[in-house]
Amino acid sequence: MLRIQSPEGTRRVDIDNHAVTRELFEKVLDVFETIEYPFTLYGRRDKSQEIASSDSMTLASYGLKHGDMIFLSPIAGTVQHVEQPTGNDKAKDEISSTSLLVSTPTPSMPGSKIPVRSIVDEDQVDLLLQKMDGTIKRKRDPKNCLHGDNSSCIHCLPLEPYDASYLKDLNVKHMSFNAYLRKLSSGLDGGKYANLDNISCRIKPGCTGHPPWPKGVCSKCQPKAITLNSQTYRHVDNIVFENPNLVEQFLHYWRVTGRQRIGFLYGKFDVHLDVPLGIKGTVAAIYEPPQESTRDSVRLLPDSRQSLVDRLAAKLGLSCIGWIFTDLVAEDISKGTVRNFRNAETHFLSAQECVMAGHFQSLHPNPCRFSSDGYFGSKFVTVCVTGDAQNQVHMEGYQVSNQCQALVRDECLVPTKDAPELAYARQSTAEKYIPDVYYKLKGFRKIGKELEKVNSP
């Protein structure tokens, strides 16, 4: 008996230990009604032991035993299928897809496409960080270390990049994403049961046990309820501009017209040395797309040059890594001061800006080989230019969480009209199912239907 874990749940398969792996693929296809080819089977969760479909390799040759867990991963993205040549035929087409499938026709499963491997083209900065040790070196403590120079103890051993006390001393509230990956792979199991699953707020298609929504829904296809939590990691740890003139030129439009402005940031990601296994975004150019702006709003227009700009940036080794917008209101023109209305008492980003950030992040997913989908989260950043506590022009960088990104992508979240700091979760309709969204409030108590702020949480 083997256990098969997949995004659709876990199933059991009874199969002889000396059976070929092709029979295992056939049985897996039978027990999962909603899963079809192509998919890949792995002996470990981190996809380090791939089980290929073969007429010669047996389950025993992979070391599989009774009760073992096998992990099923659907092939993500566009997949090309390559048929085995017969006779003197030669393959003439170039294979450029990220997933390669080889056809192994058999009497019981003629012409079936069996997955061989899938490759995720990760960002260069992630590949560099994965090769780095990442541990935080510490010097020998003269008071607590009682050993020689060639020895180590608990007071001078290197710290892991996700060490909570070290990050707190650095005033880092969110660990880097690659440090989070190291944390998942730590422990006795080596990250065998850790997974990076993208959040989905949609009903899973293909469920045949009931009529489609709104006439029916079941636990297999129903999305899970969302409980809003603070994300412990971040995909980008710092944003810098190569040249201060970039921002000055961008702000020139507001200084002349008094209207707000939006631009796209083009640059690249590098290793950020101030945070363990951190990532830094370096902005080399700001592209201002066609837009209509007022003193209070900006409306983006269709841009026929966007693809050309992306191609030119790629020639220079750059890509679109974020967006920037202004929210400036002049206070004293003679002194050059601006109003400060974004703070802890009001809001740092409005709900509509969070929705916009989530939309852009969904358009620029982060390639990740540790996710069954081939991507996880996003490195796309949001930069807001507004007034600080000293009424000076100030920039702040943000990213919305993966939860917010999923809620925006699946059209579950909309901004409110009268309260910019609040968002509204849609209700389910006959056309669309919306999962429940739960959250916690601190510092409030309920009085009838109203919320009153109190000092103690």
Q: How far apart are CA 14 and CA 318, in angstroms?
A: 52
- Indicate if the pLDDT at residue 451 is higher than 60: no
Band (pLDDT 50/70/90 cuts) for residue 114 is very low
Q: How far apart are CA 355 and CA 172, in angstroms?
A: 25
Which of 59, 74, 89 is the last residue in one of the domains?
A: 74
290 in the same domain as 405: yes
At 124-173, the pLDDT tens digits run: 999 999 888 888 888 887 788 887 777 788 888 888 899 888 899 888 99
Write out the two tokens for 368. 């990740």
* pLDDT of res. 457: 34
* pLDDT of res. 279: 95
Please check whether residue 244 is in contact with residue 386, taking contact to mean a CB–CB distance below 8 angstroms.
no
CATH of the domain at 329: 3.40.140.10
User: What share of the chain has pLDDT > 90, as a percent?
Assistant: 35
Instruction: Say which residues have a Cβ less than 8 Å from residue 289's Cβ, sequence separation at least 6.
Output: 262, 263, 264, 300, 301, 303, 306
Stretch 52-62: mean pLDDT, rounded?
Answer: 81
Band (pLDDT 50/70/90 cuts) for residue 298 is very high
123 in the same domain as 50: no
In a domain, 124, yes or no: yes
Tally Cβ neighbours within 10 Å of residue 196. 17
Q: Which residue has the higher pLDDT, 32 or 125?
A: 125
* pLDDT of res. 135: 87
In a domain, 86, yes or no: no
190 in the same domain as 42: no
Q: φ, ψ for residue 254 (rounded to 5)? A: -65, -40
CATH of the domain at 66: 3.10.20.90
- Indicate if the pLDDT at residue 271 is higher than 90: yes
406 in the same domain as 288: yes
Q: Mean pLDDT, the chain, as a whole number?
A: 81
Q: Which residue has the higher pLDDT, 138 or 176?
A: 176
At 423-436, the pLDDT tens digits run: 888 898 888 888 98
* pLDDT of res. 194: 67
Stretch 332-336: mean pLDDT, rounded?
Answer: 85
370 in the same domain as 429: yes
Three-state SS annotation for 32-48: CCCCCCCEEEECCCCCC
In a domain, 150, yes or no: no
Q: How far is CA 179 from the centre of its chain?
A: 14
Containing structural domain, residue 254: 117-135+168-456
Band (pLDDT 50/70/90 cuts) for residue 82 is very low
In a domain, 339, yes or no: yes
> How many Cα atoms sit within 13 Å of 2 on the Cβ side?
28
- Indicate if the pLDDT at residue 326 is higher than 90: yes
At 198-230, the pLDDT tens digits run: 888 888 888 888 888 888 888 888 888 888 888
270 in the same domain as 333: yes
Residue with tokens 């509204």: 424
Cis peptide bond prior to 214, omega within 30° of 0? yes
Q: φ, ψ for residue 63 (rounded to 5)? A: 75, 20
178 in the same domain as 64: no
126 in the same domain as 47: no
Q: How far apart are CA 292 and CA 257, in angstroms?
A: 12
Question: Please, what is the angle between helix 177-184 and helix 124-131, to 10°?
Answer: 50
User: What share of the chain has pLDDT > 70, as a percent?
Assistant: 84
* pLDDT of res. 235: 95
* pLDDT of res. 215: 84
Band (pLDDT 50/70/90 cuts) for residue 17 is confident
- Indicate if the pLDDT at residue 342 is higher than 70: yes
In a domain, 99, yes or no: no
* pLDDT of res. 327: 93
176 in the same domain as 58: no
At 85-106, the pLDDT tens digits run: 344 443 333 322 223 233 333 3
55 in the same domain as 128: no
* pLDDT of res. 284: 95
* pLDDT of res. 178: 92
Instruction: Say which residues have a Cβ less than 8 Å from residue 202's Cβ, sequence separation at least 6.
Output: 223, 410, 433
- Indicate if the pLDDT at residue 16 is higher than 90: no
56-60, 234-238, 365-369, range with the lowest pLDDT: 56-60
In a domain, 87, yes or no: no
* pLDDT of res. 108: 33
> How many Cα atoms sit within 13 Å of 85 on the Cβ side?
7
381 in the same domain as 312: yes
* pLDDT of res. 83: 36
Q: Which amino acid is at 255?
A: R
* pTM tops 0.85, yes or no: no
Q: Please give the tally of structural domains in the chain.
A: 2
Band (pLDDT 50/70/90 cuts) for residue 247 is very high
Stretch 424-451: mean pLDDT, rounded?
Answer: 73
Stretch 272-300: mean pLDDT, rounded?
Answer: 93
In a domain, 85, yes or no: no
Give the closest residue to 366 by CA, choosing from 414, 417, 319, 308.
Answer: 319
Q: How far apart are CA 7 and CA 114, in angstroms?
A: 19
In a domain, 449, yes or no: yes
401 in the same domain as 310: yes
Give the closest residue to 379 by CA, choosing from 367, 389, 393.
Answer: 367
Tally Cβ neighbours within 10 Å of residue 312. 14
At 259-268, the pLDDT tens digits run: 999 999 999 9
